[in-house]
Every structure is written in structure tokens, then in C-alpha cells.
Amino acid sequence: MDSKISEEFVGPRSEDTLPASAAAAVKVVIVGGFGVGKTTLVGSVSEIRPLTTEETMTQAGVGVDDVAGVERKTETTVAMDFGRISINEQLVLYLFGTPGQERFWFLWNGLFEGALGAVVLVDTRRLEVSFDVIGRLEERGVPFVVGINAFPDAPVHPVEDLRAALDIPASVPMIDCDARDRGSCRDALMTLMRYLHTLTTSTPEPQ
């Protein structure tokens, strides 16, 4: 990442400066259907002012974006969210939130380039909005973990029921996650990092 570019985006804040010890930068993508909390998550954990391309939803989205269950949502992400979090002195994650709406899927190619993994956010009131996104990650072979975002009026299901409903393999971590809570989002990202680590250290299945 060109630091000059991010300075332009975020302005001169002292925490924008990466520690000299930062040795590894990892790209992580935050995905999920419309209104599941992607922009909220990036905003909660980012140590730089997140870049977001949130726009007031216009008439153009009427009948195209499914707002059932998120009627109070008045803004939508038109291109992406971008943030940064330092996991420790050496490891920095760059977070890219991708729009869930199908009409933005052409952006996926660019956004997934070089990404090591993804966090899929789901809203238990509307699981179906994340189905397609999960299918696309599986097609591309992008490793992911699932964050079950806690909306107050959302039905609580045992995680194994959610796993079955979303058809998520037993090996893929599923965790509770409150997109508004920094610690909770950080835990979700740590779960992804640990999962990626197990994938690189586990022996491949015999062919």
C-alpha cells in the first residue's frame, strides 16, 4: 500500500504512521450481504479514519437493493470500505469491505486480488443475503471465517443450526461478532488469522 495515498485519504493523524517494526501487511476482505454490518465493522476496528464510499441510497436502488429487514438503512456502500488494524508490532491488516449487492460484483476481481482471507458477516434475521457471497468465496478458493453479527432483535440459533443452514464445512470457524464493538471485531479477525495459520501448517489431504 502506498503510504502517500493513505495519508491523502485519512489526513494527518499521528496514529496513521505505521511503526517502523511493521514487517508484514495482510489484505483481508470483509464480505456479506446488504446491511449485515461490513461498514460498521471496518469503522469499529480501524486505527485510521476508515475510507468509506457510503452514499445516501437513491431512487436508483429502489427495487434493485433488497431493503427488507433494513428499512431504516439510509446509506449504502457503493465501492468499498477501507481500514487498517495493527495486530501486533509486526503484523498489519488492511481491511477491504466489499459491497454485497450483486450489481457490484464486477468489483470483486480487483478487491480479492492478493487477499489472504475473508470474514463473512451474517445477520441471523436474513441469512439468505449472505448465501451468494459464501458461494462465490468457495468458488474462488478464498479461505473465510463466519462472523454472526449480533442484532438486538435477531433470533438466536445454536451455531450448529446456522452452520447447517449456511452449509458451512465443520472446519470453518463460526464466531459471534458485534460489528459495533472493536474488541469483538478484533477477535473475529484474530480467528481468521489463526485459521489461515492452521491451513498453512496442516498437511494436505492425500489425493
Ligand X SMILES: Nc1nc2c(ncn2[C@@H]2O[C@H](COP(=O)(O)OP(=O)(O)O)[C@@H](O)[C@H]2O)c(=O)[nH]1
**Interacting residue with Mg ion among 28, 34, 37, 39 (CB under 5 A):** 39
Furthest C-alpha separation in the chain: 53
Going by C-alpha positions, the residue among 92, 97, 85, 86 that lies closest to residue 29 is: 97
Verify binding: residue 36, ligand X, rule CB under 6 A.
yes
Query: CB under 6 A: which stretch of 102-110, 127-135, 175-183, 187-195 binds ligand X?
Result: 175-183
Verify binding: residue 149, ligand X, rule CB under 6 A.
yes
Which residue number, 7 or 66, has a Cβ lying nearer to ligand X?
Answer: 66
Q: In what order do the strands lie in the sheet with 174-177?
A: 51-56, 75-86, 91-97, 24-31, 115-123, 144-149, 174-177
Contact indicator for 125, 149 with CB cutoff of 8 Å = no
Which residue number, 93 or 121, has a Cβ lying nearer to ligand X?
Answer: 121
Instruction: Report the partner that residue 80 touches, choosing among Mg ion, ligand X, none (CB closer than 5 to 8 A by kind).
Output: none
Which residue number, 143 or 178, has a Cβ lying nearer to ligand X?
Answer: 178
Number of residues that bind ligand X (CB under 6 A): 17
Q: Which residue is nearest to ligand X (CB)?
A: 37
Verify binding: residue 83, ligand X, rule CB under 6 A.
no
**Interacting residue with Mg ion among 44, 46, 77, 149 (CB under 5 A):** 77
Rounded-to-integer distance, Cα 2 and Cα 80, Å: 17
Going by C-alpha positions, the residue among 95, 55, 58 that lies closest to residue 76 is: 55
Interface residues with Mg ion (CB under 5 A) are 38-39, 77
